[in-house]
Structure 1
Amino acid sequence: MPDERRAEILRTAARIALEEGLERITLRRVADELGVRPGLIGHYFPAADALVAEAFTDAATKERDTLLPADEEGLAPIDRLARFLVRLADGTYLDLSRLWLNARHLSRFKEGLRDAVGAQETVTRTALTALIEAGVAAGEFDTDDALGAALHILVTVDGLGSYANADADIRLDHPTLDDMAITTAERELGLDRGTLRARL
């Protein structure tokens, strides 16, 4: 039961983080959402900063697991990469982009969150690098620097994510931005333009 309650608290805090922002996570807010006293939340998370860091980790992990799902590990690396990048490009993960933008900003002031952001960046970078290495080994990608290619792709994704908070009426709308991470990956991996979308 204590583990279930702790997981419920984390799920609630992660949902608040994705929908409203990490700064909206307080012991009182989570307690109100769950219909309990703040003291119960404080029993599991004595400091709100620890709850914020774990909520970010929970949300980022779950979102990454939907971007690179385990049940697709049997697919060819080029198909996994195509699905990963198209999912990111289609706008479904706007809340995730906002979460990362929010987390990076707040991590300047919160050491626990800074550690969590760094850990999640490492997990994502490692997973993407391994995917690229598998694609090279399968003869699908052409690069002698899988980590460098992964960094180009992830920095492009992060750069695009920096626009996540712009309202639709002021957001720059240009076709180049729509598939920028996809075209970056194709360039870095020696693929013809349009190859990744054509895999779907």
Structure 2
Amino acid sequence: MTSRQDRKRVRKAPEERRQEIVAAAARIGLTEGLERITLRRVADDLGVRSGLVGHYFPTAEDLVTEAFTSAAAGELDALLPETAGDRSRGSAVRVLQNFLARLSGPVFDDVSRLWLNARHLSRYRPVLNEGVVRQELLWCRRVEQVIAAGVAQGSFRCEDPWEAAVRVIAVLDGVNSYTNTSAQQRSAPLIDMVRTFTEAELGLPRDALLPHGPAADGSDREPRPADR
């Protein structure tokens, strides 16, 4: 059997190697927790020397922050791409329908746990705290852009898209805070909470943001803001 030291080392471009290290650390953070990310652990997973990882990330805190940022931003790009709020790219209602539907699936549980983990650790780690704050604002900004597009399209009624986005993300975080503990016992009352709150926040009729909407009669008509 060939030992790790005997394997042929492959020289990679610096940026490629750095991305490989961050991706490996992000996988560990998502599946096991950010506390499990160490220079040695990442090196072992990649089959390289820990000194190579340390060359790109002199401290574990820098690597943990980069791993969290990569995982959180990558999930956001998958759920709500940067172009999702472009008013010329289609219905903001459809964008939110897809966004909320994907958030409710079990695939998002690992990311929910990652956020809980990062917020806890950020209390003691200033560098990670800065990274968490940046990602929080980025998530809110993406939602704000979609809401603003929906207002411009006449689909949403909202005086301040930024404040609405912050409240939607806060409700999402509140629901996800039970991921590690009583999620099963609380799932039924909470399963539609983010969606129904968002509908009310944007002046939409109930169930307007169900993934197979918007019209109950099966037509492709956009839901209009509800009268209040």
TM-score (norm 1): 0.94
2:157 is the alignment partner of 1:157: no
Q: CA deviation at 1:90?
A: 2.0
2:71 is the alignment partner of 1:56: no
Tell me what 2:146 maps to: 131
SS at match of 2:106: coil
Letter paired with 1:109 = Y
Contact 1:25–1:52 under 8 Å retained in 2: yes
SS at match of 1:141: coil
2:103 is the alignment partner of 1:88: yes
TM-score (norm 2): 0.83
> Identity rate of aligned residues, in percent?
49
Distance 1:84 1:116 in 2: 23
Aligned residues: 198
Tell me what 2:25 maps to: 13
Contact 1:17–1:99 under 8 Å retained in 2: yes
Contact 2:61–2:128 under 8 Å retained in 1: yes
Q: Deviations over 1:105-164 (max 9, x none)?
A: 000011110000000111111111111011001000011121221122101100011111
Contact 2:164–2:201 under 8 Å retained in 1: yes
Distance 1:124 1:133 in 2: 14
2:203 is the alignment partner of 1:190: yes
**Which structure would you say has the larger RCO, counting Cα contacts within 8 Å and 6 or more residues apart?**
1
Distance 1:32 1:174 in 2: 38
Distance 1:155 1:90 in 2: 18
2:38 is the alignment partner of 1:23: no
Letter paired with 1:54 = E
Letter paired with 1:152 = R
Q: CA deviation at 1:70?
A: 5.1
Distance 2:206 2:182 in 1: 30
CA RMSD of aligned residues (A): 1.5
Q: CA deviation at 1:71?
A: 7.0
**Structure 1 gaps, min length 5:** none
Tell me what 1:122 maps to: 137
Distance 1:138 1:166 in 2: 40
Letter paired with 1:121 = E
Tell me what 1:36 maps to: 48
Residues 174 and 57 of structure 1: CA distance in aligned 2, closer, same or farther (over 3 Å)? closer
2:125 is the alignment partner of 1:113: no
**Structure 2 gaps, min length 5:** 1-12, 215-228
2:206 is the alignment partner of 1:199: no
Q: If each structure's helix is expressed as a fraction of its own residues, which one has the higher value?
A: 1
Tell me what 1:78 maps to: 93
Q: Which has the larger radius of gyration?
A: 2
Residues 118 and 71 of structure 1: CA distance in aligned 2, closer, same or farther (over 3 Å)? closer
SS at match of 1:164: coil
Q: CA deviation at 1:167?
A: 6.3
Q: CA deviation at 1:91?
A: 2.3
SS at match of 2:133: helix
